Amino acid sequence: MSQKKTSRKILKWLNHIATTLLFVVLISMLFIVISSKASGGEPEIFGYQLKTVLSGSMEPDIQTGSIIAVKPGGDMTRFQEGDVITYMEEDQKLVTHRITEVIHSGDNVMYRTKGDNNDAVDAEPVLSENVVAEYKGFTIPYIGYIINFAQSQNGAFLLLIPGFLLLGYSAFIIWKAIREIEPANKGKTKSNEDQESLSSS
């Protein structure tokens, strides 16, 4: 009996874990897609933008496929050597690199940058007006691949899968609970009928 009880407890915990995981995946994917559509680009939370890193130029601190939190806005001439910034290149490509030198040219401020994993500094200095955000040190490995996929048409379609799995699992749990309740109710009804027949006799 003790083994059966232990097995039931384990199955119960596994059910809870599976349900929680499905729910977390569903909510996370919904947040990513809705936030991306609302902002017209990358997801944003509490004033921080989540950027996907798909190159290894800043490894090992920022792994390929990571997401990073960057803080947009503010005075883009405030940065110093050692700060990590996200800036827009001429081809509209976002890059996150570390500042190696601050260059003052008249009223203009420029930054010479370099990827931590690169052998040489970047070819062209970055104008302060091309800086879009500052990297704040928060990164989660590999999630960037999932975000990129979720933002695609195929990813948005597959977003429905965790929802359907969660609904199906919930329906199964409800059906199972009803099946367990029905025999108990039948047993109570039969017991009441037997008592009534005994009292009438």
Residues with catalytic roles:
55
Q: What secondary structure does DSSP assign to 25-87, as a single string?
A: HHHHHHHHHHHHHHHTSS-EETTEEEEE--S-TTTTTS-TT-EEEEEE-S-TT---TT-EEEE
Token readout for 148 is 């990129």
Strand partners, 94: 88
Comparing CA positions, the residue from 82, 72, 14 lying closest to residue 45 is: 72
Comparing CA positions, the residue from 138, 85, 142 lying closest to residue 109 is: 85
Cβ-based neighbour number of residue 179 at 10 Å: 9
User: What is the end-to-end Cα distance of the chain in Å, rounded?
Assistant: 40
